[in-house]
Structure 1
Amino acid sequence: MTTATFRTPAALRRTVRGIALTYRLPAEDRARIVLSLSETAATALNAGRPVTLTATDDAGDDGAGRLTLALGLPRREDVQVMTDQLPLPGEATADGTVVWRVPLPQVTAPAAAPVTAVLPCPAAAPVGAAARRNGDADLALLEEELRAALARADLLADEHRKLKHELAETNSGVLALYVQLEERDEELRKAHGRTLRALEDALRPRPLHVDGLDLAVHYAPASDDTPTGGDLYDWFTLPDGTVHITIVDALGHGITSTRTALTVTHAVRTLALEGHPLESIVARTDDILAPFDQNVMATLLLAHLDPASGRLSLANGSHPPALLMRADGEADFLEVRGRGVGFPLPGSERILTTTLRPDDLLILYTDGLTESRRDPREGERRLVSTARRYRARPTQDVPGSIARDMLTDVLHEDDTLAMAVRFRSPTG
């Protein structure tokens, strides 16, 4: 172990560089240790306070050679740099000393005592030609260290460019894969939607052609992701020629509500074809289904229309009222109180009867048409004005036109069904 005292930064740098050269440290490591000790000692030396440097070489815990440099500062306040942020981090001790432990390269150690050889002697500083030689040597070493630092920087920059290129290629590949997955997912959603829509269309009744009546229907699911829903209709002709119409709105969305709506419409069809009175069908439907599924809940509107006379009868189970749009533009909601299937005390409280005149238009619908806004009464007023606007159009265009106008700027999405029935009389 050898210790020397320094009063100038140049002498300290020259000595540290000499030690690094003696132990054959690479130029990059040599630059790091010189800069680290110079920055740490700068405050004290610039203030005229000397520092001490102690150098030792020994073997570390793993048996490899190690150079230890301990920089002694006159005051602890002289350590103003963050030792862990130096080019070569050091360890500050309690007595104000900063220690660096540098692994030595795997080369043969110097035969003589290298530390003693490079630490300055008490003699005066070199002057004249010797000083110039020392300055030239220091400059050459400094240039070598700078070249090593630049080479290291160039290497890091090149590696950085390669990593950026690899990252860009990886991101491009990931993006392409993501696009492919999105496209495939979209195709699967569309195929799934087409399959469900085809299945639902297959479950809906066939078009009904009756002399004296024009019938048209429009259905739209709450979203494309759930193309099936609980809004369903049924129409058929009874043995006496009367047209029976059922509008059902089952609780919920998706396949479960579709199953509920189908169950209700099939039960209603069976009861109607068996000849049960219209006023009893809502209650009897609940009686039939309750023992099998207590979760069934649906609103429904039932209509019997005589195509010969225009006589209309309505039964209601918690469903929005039908809208009758007369040929002269007069509008009237056909209100019938009642409670739906799965509700307490299900059944229609009465039967509403009226007569359609030639070119009268009957609009049957589910609540998704009028309750897309916050106020259902507002929806009913909009329905009247919209139906009046489109009533003169061909019957097959009326339900879709009404739905498109009613469902602009909705607050919440819901399944929607609209049906138009125009009475023309058998000779119309």
Structure 2
Amino acid sequence: MTSTTFSTPAALRRTVRGIALTYRLPAEDRARIVLSLSETAAAALNAGRPVTLTATNEAGEDGADRLTLALTLPRQDSRVVVTDELPLPGEAGADGTVVWRVPLPTARAPLATVVPQATRAGRAAAAAPRGAEADVALLEEELRAALARADRLADQHRKLKHELAETNSGVLALYVQLEERDEELRKAHGRTLRSLEDALRPRPLHVDGLDLAVHYAPASDETPTGGDLYDWFTLPDGTVHITIVDALGHGITSTRTALTVTHAVRTLALEGHSLGTIVARTDEILAPFDQSVMATLQLVHLNPATGELSLANGSHPPALHLRADGSAEFLEVRGRGVGFPLPGSERVLTTTLGHDDLLLLYTDGLTESRRDPREGERRLVSTARRHRSRPTAELPGVIARDMLAGALHEDDTLALAVRFRSPCQEPGHDPG
């Protein structure tokens, strides 16, 4: 162990560099230890307060040799030492000493000969300044080591960035493939569900004296099925029966509910039950089997020869009667739907359609896409008037498109149009 007191930064640097050379520390480690000790002692030495350096060569707990450098500072300087910011952090003690323990290279001179050399080198460096050329050479060596390390790190950084870019590219490509595959599966799933739902919907109905058309759109492409459903068929006496159902909820469950209700209504209508009793009777039949069934519905009987119309309602939006002269009327009938308290239609409304009159049946998704349903009904009247001259086949889709433009929320939407023709008119013919 050797201790030396220093009064100038230059003398301290030369001594530390001499000790590092004696112990054959790599140039990079040598630069770190020289910079760390000189920065730690700078405040004291620049203020004219000497510091003491003690060098010790000892074996660590793991048996490996290491160089211990202990720098003792004046008391007033030891309180502000921050070792974490140094190139090689040391351990600050309470007595004003900062200690560095540096592992020594394995390939070096025997311990017995190195310690005297280190002592002599330290004393010589302190007593006589090293030549300028030698100092420059050592500084250049240390600089080359630092630059080489920086180059290695930069090269490793470039390689890591390249590997990361390739990894990200691969992950992105895989993500795109998964997204495309997921989209294909969603579309296939949607097509399958839509095909199944279309298969469950009634076939087109062709009746002399009537033009009929329907439009359906789900709340989202993600759920191509919904609770809005319709049914139409001809009764034995030639009367056309139309059912509009809006089951609670969305998706397959609501579709099942709507199908259950429409099938029950069809059975009751074909059995001859009066229109005014069918809503209540449907609830009476279904309630024992499924207490969760809840749906609004509207039932229409229309005589294609005379235009006589009867309408029953269970909590459903009113039908719109748009006459050929442009006047409009909502056919209001109070009632409560299937699954509601006291289900049934309170009365049966009767009226007569004139030649080229339109009857528009729909679900609430058409008029309640905005905050005010009454405002939606007013828009429906103006929209139907604007497009009433279009072919009947186009009418429901065009009206739905205009009504849902700028909708505040999405819902299943169903629109069904019936245009009455006098018996002398060819079915499906639109004047003008």
Structure 1 length normalisation: TM-score? 0.97
Report how far residue 422 of structure 1 moved: 0.3
Q: How does 1:293-332 map to 2 (within 5 A)?
A: 293-332=290-329
Specify the alignment match of 1:17 in structure 2.
Answer: 17
1:79 and 1:137 mapped to 2: Cα distance?
A: 35
Specify the alignment match of 1:143 in structure 2.
Answer: 140
Report how far residue 121 of structure 1 moved: 5.9
1:76 and 1:154 mapped to 2: Cα distance?
A: 40
Q: Do residues 120 (structure 1) and 123 (structure 2) align?
A: yes
1:110 and 1:95 mapped to 2: Cα distance?
A: 29
* C-alpha contact (below 8 Å) 2:78/2:97 kept by paired residues: no
Report how far residue 266 of structure 1 moved: 0.1
Q: How does 1:169-184 map to 2 (within 5 A)?
A: 169-184=166-181
Report how far residue 115 of structure 1 moved: 3.2
Specify the alignment match of 2:41 in structure 1.
Answer: 41
Structure 1 unaligned segments of length 5 or more: list them.
none
Distance 1:424 1:122, change over 3 A: closer
Distance 1:245 1:398, change over 3 A: same
1:145 and 1:79 mapped to 2: Cα distance?
A: 31
2:289 and 2:359 mapped to 1: Cα distance?
A: 35
Q: How does 1:342-353 map to 2 (within 5 A)?
A: 342-353=339-350
Distance 1:121 1:176, change over 3 A: closer
Per-residue displacement from partner, 1:109-132 (whole Å, max 9, x unpaired)? 354323321222699x44xxxx5x
Report how far residue 81 of structure 1 moved: 4.8
Per-residue displacement from partner, 1:137-173 (whole Å, max 9, x unpaired)? 2221111111111111111111111111111111111
Specify the alignment match of 1:385 in structure 2.
Answer: 382
* C-alpha contact (below 8 Å) 1:399/1:418 kept by paired residues: yes
* C-alpha contact (below 8 Å) 1:56/1:115 kept by paired residues: no
Specify the alignment match of 1:91 in structure 2.
Answer: 91
2:283 equivalent among 281, 286, 297: 286
* C-alpha contact (below 8 Å) 1:83/1:90 kept by paired residues: yes
Amino acid at match of 1:312: L
Per-residue displacement from partner, 1:22-80 (whole Å, max 9, x unpaired)? 11111111111001001001111111111100010110000000110000111243564
Specify the alignment match of 2:209 in structure 1.
Answer: 212
* C-alpha contact (below 8 Å) 2:4/2:54 kept by paired residues: yes
* C-alpha contact (below 8 Å) 1:216/1:395 kept by paired residues: yes
Specify the alignment match of 1:402 in structure 2.
Answer: 399
The secondary structure found in structure 1 opposite 2:291 is coil
* C-alpha contact (below 8 Å) 2:81/2:92 kept by paired residues: no
1:114 and 1:183 mapped to 2: Cα distance?
A: 73
Per-residue displacement from partner, 1:169-198 (whole Å, max 9, x unpaired)? 111111111111111111111111111101
1:76 and 1:233 mapped to 2: Cα distance?
A: 93
* C-alpha contact (below 8 Å) 1:40/1:80 kept by paired residues: no
Amino acid at match of 2:41: A
Report how far residue 82 of structure 1 moved: 2.1
RMSD value, Cα: 1.3
Using the aligned pairs only, state the percent identity.
83
Structure 2 unaligned segments of length 5 or more: list them.
426-432
Q: How does 1:214-253 map to 2 (within 5 A)?
A: 214-253=211-250
* C-alpha contact (below 8 Å) 2:313/2:336 kept by paired residues: yes
The secondary structure found in structure 1 opposite 2:12 is helix
Distance 1:357 1:284, change over 3 A: same
* C-alpha contact (below 8 Å) 1:41/1:78 kept by paired residues: no
Report how far residue 245 of structure 1 moved: 0.2
> Between Structure 1 and Structure 2, how many residues are aligned?
422
1:121 and 1:396 mapped to 2: Cα distance?
A: 108
1:120 and 1:73 mapped to 2: Cα distance?
A: 19
The secondary structure found in structure 2 opposite 1:56 is strand
2:346 and 2:208 mapped to 1: Cα distance?
A: 31
Specify the alignment match of 2:430 in structure 1.
Answer: none
Specify the alignment match of 1:359 in structure 2.
Answer: 356
Q: Do residues 153 (structure 1) and 150 (structure 2) align?
A: yes
Structure 2 length normalisation: TM-score? 0.96
* C-alpha contact (below 8 Å) 2:227/2:251 kept by paired residues: yes
1:294 and 1:273 mapped to 2: Cα distance?
A: 25
1:170 and 1:48 mapped to 2: Cα distance?
A: 57
